A and B are shown apart, each in its own frame.
Chain A
Amino acid sequence: MWDESSPRAVNGRAPDVFRPGAWVPMREYPEDKAVDFAIVGTGAGGGTLACKLAEHGFSVVAFDAGPYWRPLEDFASDETHQSKLYWTDKRIVDGDNPLQLGANNSGKSVGGSTVHFAMVSLRFRPEWFKSRSKLGYAVDWPLDWREMWRYYSEVEQALKVSGPLRYPWGPARPRYPYRPHELNAAALVLAEGAEALGIDWTPTPLATLSAPRGLAHPCVYRGMCVIGCSTNAKQSVLVTWLPRALEAGAEIRDLAMVGSIEHDTAGLATGVHYQREGRWHFQRARNVVVAGYAIETPRLLLNSASARFPDGLANSSGLVGKNLMVQSNQAVWGVMDREIRSYKGPPSLAITEHWNYADDGKDFHGGYCYMSQGPLPIVWGTTQASKRGLWGQDLLNAMENYNHQVGLKIVGETLPQERNCVTLSDERDQYGLRIPRVTYAFCDNDKRLIAHSLRFMRQALEAVDAHDIWDEDDDTCHLNGTARMGDDPSSSVVNADCRCWDIPNLWICDGSVFPTVGGVNPSLTIEAIACRTADRIKAMARRGELSRS
C-alpha cells in the first residue's frame, strides 16, 4: 500500500488518473542539463502552463510539494480524511482579520487546489480589467478583456464546463461545451428568492461533467464536491491539463518542495533547489516559473534572497508579498419547512451575479456574486458551534435541521491594500525553510460590501419563507495578489506576460499576479492567464526574445 509520502512519478511513469492502479509513461529530464522551463506548482496556473508550454514544444519539469493522486482510489467520501488535500503546513496569521488557512484557499497536491475546488468557473466582468479607468477604484490590469474572452473560451473547452445556454450578464459568450446540471433544492431556493426580488439568476457554470467525457464519468450528484472527486467528474487540473502535459513530454515531480531559486552573476535565474525524499536537489533551467499561489509564491521569492537581491527576487518595486486580496465569503442561513438536503449534488448549482454587474444601489466599490450552498456535516456542525456560538442542546437542535437548512453565500471583491501582505517569519518548517506570516484586515469598503450582501441575501431568504435566519459574517476564501501584474515596473512585479520586470527569465503564473480580484471565483481566470502566457512565450521564443542563462 502506498503511504502517500513517497513520490509516485518516478522511473519514467506517472499515475494514470483514470484507471485504478495503472500508470502512464512520463518523460524524465536529467537535473544537470537545463530544461527550458522549471515550473514551481502544478495547480490552476502552473499545471495549465506546463501543459501548454509542453504542447508548444518546450522541455518542461513541473514541481509540486503534494502527492500525485489517483482520484478513483485515493479519495474517501470523508471530510476528515480529505483534509490531506489542503496545505496545512505551519504558518502565522495576524492582522485585524486573521485568515483561516487550509480548506478553501489552499491545496497541496499535484493539480493544486483544483483537486478539491468547488468547480465554479466564472468569467471576470469585462470592466474589472480596467476597474480604475472604468469603475473608479483600485488599479487597471494590463490585459484587454476581449483577448481574455478568447482564452476563457479555450479553458472552458479544456474543462468541458457545463453552463447555461444564455448567460444573463455581460457580453455574449460562446455556448458552454456541456449543458447545465439539474438544480438541487438548495439551488431552487436561490432561484425563487431571486425571482421574488426581481433579479436574474442562472445555473452556475461548473467544471464538472454533465455527460461522459472519455474515461471520466459524469457527475453522480453524490455531494462531497468540495473535497476530492472520486468519480473524476470534477475537471481539475489533475485530470485535464496534466494528462495532456505528460502526453506532450512534460515531467511532473511530485512530493518535491522547491525551497529557493538560484541565479547567476548576471542576475538571471539558473534553476531551482528542491527537496525530495529528504534530500536537496538542484534542477537547472533556462527559465523558472513560480506558480505556488498567493502565499507560497511570495514566500519562495522572498526565501530566494541573495547578496544581489537582498529583498528577495523580483522585488525592486517592494511589492512582492503586498496587496494580498482574499475574497469575502459571508453567508446568510435559514431553515425551510420542506426538506432541502442541500448536500446533494455540487454545492453551488445556482448563482446570481446581479451585484457584480449592477452599479446603482451600492455604497461600495467592487461586486459580489452569491451562490446556493451545501455544507458537509462536519463543516456545518463546526459552523454552528464556532460561528453561531451554539453548544449543547441548542447545537443538537440546530443539527436536527440539517436536511432543511439553506444558505446563500457570497464570493465578494476586496480591495488591494499594501498592509495586507505575506512576509517571512523567523520560524522554520519541516524543510528548514522560513515560514510565511500572513497579515490581513478588511478595509471599510470591504465591510460595506459585506454588509450590503448580508442585507440583500437576508431579503432573498425571507422572500421564500425561510425562518431562523442568521448571518455568518466572518468567512473568507480564495487568495490573490502579492505579485501583481502591471505596465509600470515601479508599481508591479510582472508585466502582462507574467514576466518579472527584474529578472527576464523568471515568470510568475498564478493568482498572485491579479491586480484586483473581482467578485467571482478565480480559477478560470488563472487558467486563462496561463494559456495566454504560454502563447506569449511561444511568440517571444520565435522572435528570439527569451533570455538564455
Chain B
Amino acid sequence: MRRLPAVKSRRVALASLQEIAGSLSEKYAPGKAVRTRVPEPGGNVGRKLNFSSALLSFSVLADSGLEHYRGSFQNRLMYLPLAVSAATLAASLFGIVDGRAKSHVVRDGLYGLAALTGATGLGFHGYNIVKRPGHLSWINLFYAAPVGAPVALLLAGVLGRVAERVRDDEASTLLGYPAGEVLGAVTSAGLAGTVAEAGLLHFRGAFQNPGMFLPVVVPPAAAGLLAMTLFRSGNVVRRAAKLGLGLTALLGFVGVGFHAYGVSRNMGGWRNWSQNILNGPPLPAPPSFTGLALAGLAALSLVERNKKAGFHD
C-alpha cells in the first residue's frame, strides 16, 4: 500500500510528459487526423496543477536554499521561504497522489500561505533593491535580491489554489469566469514574469552563450499563444500553444543542463562544486518554466473540456 502513492505520482508526472510528447508529435505529423480526446475530469486537471505547484515549489526550495545560504541567512525571515516551499512541495505531492475529486483543507491552506509568503517576499526583495545606493538601478536589479524569485512561490500558491478549486467545482469556474481561461491568464502572466527574470539575469551575463537567448524567445512565444487562446477559438492556435508550452517545459529540463555547463566554466569547474554551484548560474531556476508550462497545458485541457461540455449541451 505504501508504494502506491509513489507509483501514482510517477504516473501523473509521466502523463504530463506524455502530453508534451503528444503535442510535439502532433505538430510534426500535420497530415494525421486530429485525435479526439475524452475531456479530463476536474480531478485529473487538479492533479496536473498540483504537479506544476510541486515543480515550482521545488524550484523555490532549492533556489532560495542556495541563495539565502549564500546570503548567510542574514535576516531570520530568509528561512521562511524554505519552510513554506518545503510545505508547499509536500502538499503538492500529496495532491498528486490524492485521487479524490475534492479539495483538501490542509493543501488549500498551505497554498494560501505560499501565495502570501511569495507576495511578502516580493516586498522584501523590492525593499532590498531600493535601499541600496543607486536605488532602482541596473546594478541593484542585477545583484540585489532578485525581484522575480519570490513570484515563483506566489505562483506555486496560486496554481495550487486553482488546483483545489478545479477539483471541487464541476462547472470549473473561478471567480465567475471559466477556470481554463483564468488559469491560462495566470500562467501567461507567470511565464512573462519568469521570462523577465531570466532575461534580466542573462542580460547580466551579456548573453555570452547563444543558448542564453532560448528562455527569452521560446517561453514568450508560448505565453503569447496561450493568451491568444483566451480570445480566439480554433484548433490551430491551441495546437500552436501546446507546442510552445511543450517546448517551454522541455526547456526547463534542458536549462538545468545549460546551467550545469555554466557552472563548469567557472574557475575550478565541477571539481570546485561547493563554490561554483553558488557562483555559477542557478541550477534550480529553469524548472520553473516546466512548472508553468505544465500549468498552461492544464489550462488548455480545461478549456477543451469546457468546449466539449458546451458542445454536448
Binding site for B on A (CB under 8 A): 160, 164-166, 177-180, 182-183, 188, 191-192, 194-195, 201, 203, 210-213, 217-218, 220, 231, 233
Contact = CB atoms under 8 A, between A and B. Distances in A.
Nearest to A193: B133
A220 B206 contact: no
B142 A180 contact: yes
B309 interface: no
B206 A183 contact: no
Given A166-B138, A188-B132, A218-B265, 16 more contacts: A160-B206, A164-B139, A178-B206, A179-B203, A179-B205, A210-B204, A211-B204, A211-B205, A212-B265, A213-B208, A217-B266, A220-B266, A220-B267, A220-B275, A220-B279, A233-B267
A211 B209 CA distance: 10
A182 B143 contact: yes
Contact of B262 (A182, A194, A212): A212
Interface string B249-284: 000000000000010011100000001000100000
Contacts, number: 55
B200 to A, nearest CB: 10
A380 B173 CA distance: 69
Best-surrounded residue of B203, B204, B262, B275 (most CB of chain A within 10 A)? B204
B139 A180 contact: yes
B234 interface: no
Interface in B75-128: none
Contact of B206 (A177, A182, A217, A233): A177
Contacts of A179: 138, 142, 203-206
Nearest to B132: A188
A499 B262 CA distance: 46
B31 interface: no
B77 to A, nearest CB: 20
A203 B139 contact: yes
B208 A211 contact: yes
Nearest to B272: A220
A194 B275 CA distance: 33
A165 B138 contact: yes
A182 B70 CA distance: 14
B4 to A, nearest CB: 46
Contacts of A178: 206, 208
22 contacts: A164-B138, A178-B206, A179-B203, A179-B205, A179-B206, A180-B142, A182-B139, A183-B139, A191-B134, A192-B133, A194-B133, A201-B133, A211-B205, A211-B206, A211-B208, A212-B208, A212-B265, A217-B266, A218-B265, A218-B266, A220-B266, A231-B267
Contacts of A166: 138
Contacts of A220: 266-267, 275, 279
A178 B262 CA distance: 16
A188 B205 contact: no
Nearest to A195: B133
A160 B204 CA distance: 13
A191 B133 contact: yes
Best-surrounded residue of A160, A177, A182, A201 (most CB of chain B within 10 A)? A182
B244 to A, nearest CB: 28
A433 B138 CA distance: 53
A251 B206 CA distance: 33
Contacts of B267: 217, 220, 231, 233
A83 to B, nearest CB: 23
Nearest to A233: B267
